[in-house]
Amino acid sequence: MRTAYREIMDHLSVTEDLRLRILGGLRPKRAPSLFGLSIPRVVSAAACLLLLTAAAVGVMHTRLIAPPSTVSSAVGNPVSPTVNTASAEELAALVGFAVTEPEIPFAAEKTEYTAFGKDLAQIEWFGEDESACFRKARGSLDPSGDFSTYESVTEITANGVCVMLKGDSSGYLLAVWEGSDFSYSLRLSQARSEQEWLSLLENCDIS
């Protein structure tokens, strides 16, 4: 049997074309390609890209519908709607409490009256080289909005009211006091001595 098989194989001739066909049939078939990439790889890459796109759209949608953050206001810094008026009388009508314009130690060229909602009244004076700011507010908190650390702080009594003066070696720039149901502040751009402040406040209705 083996002898017959060898005789047959010895007389069998394989052409070059037949050999190539045989070898081609033995090689594993390649998957169809697209632009040099196999179609399965292209499909996988497309699926990943689709997932990434969906995730990005979701993040953008979340950012667009997120509620705005709430910003809190600092104490002593008025954030209520402001209204400018022409006089202390109009200012008092807006805030709903009496506003008496205090005396200032210089000649004012311009005066501004401002209402911060119903809680705070402000009067500002502007001279040639000086300015001043008076505030009256509901409650007992310091209405000046000035929380600087002063090297010199003292208390005086004017018209029976305890007044705190704040300043430096050149004099005092800020006066803060409390009355019935209201708090007050008066700030000057140029420092004054304790005696000058006492004379200034005694000529004002600071109760």
The reported pLDDT for the residue numbered 81 is 87
The reported pLDDT for the residue numbered 129 is 96
The reported pLDDT for the residue numbered 182 is 96
The most distant pair of C-alpha atoms in the chain lies apart, rounded to whole Å, by 141
The half-sphere exposure of 121 on its side-chain side, counting CA atoms within 13 A, is 24
**With contact defined as beta carbons under 8 Å apart, do 115 and 91 qualify?**
yes
Task: Tell whether the model's pLDDT for residue 174 goes beyond 90.
Answer: yes
Q: Where are the domains of the chain?
A: 16-65, 82-202
Q: What are phi and psi of 17, to 5 degrees?
A: -65, -40
pLDDT, tens digit (0-9, with 9 covering 90-100), for 54-108: 544 443 433 332 333 322 333 345 556 899 999 999 999 999 999 999 999 999 9
Chain position carrying tokens 């709430």: 70
3-class SS of residue 85? strand
Q: What is the mean pLDDT of residues 11-22?
A: 57
Task: Tell whether the model's pLDDT for residue 22 goes beyond 60.
Answer: no
The reported pLDDT for the residue numbered 68 is 30
Round to whole Å and give the CA distance between 94 and 77. Answer: 19
Chain position carrying tokens 């809190």: 72
3-class SS of residue 157? strand
pLDDT, tens digit (0-9, with 9 covering 90-100), for 137-166: 999 999 999 989 999 999 999 999 999 999
**With contact defined as beta carbons under 8 Å apart, do 83 and 187 qualify?**
no
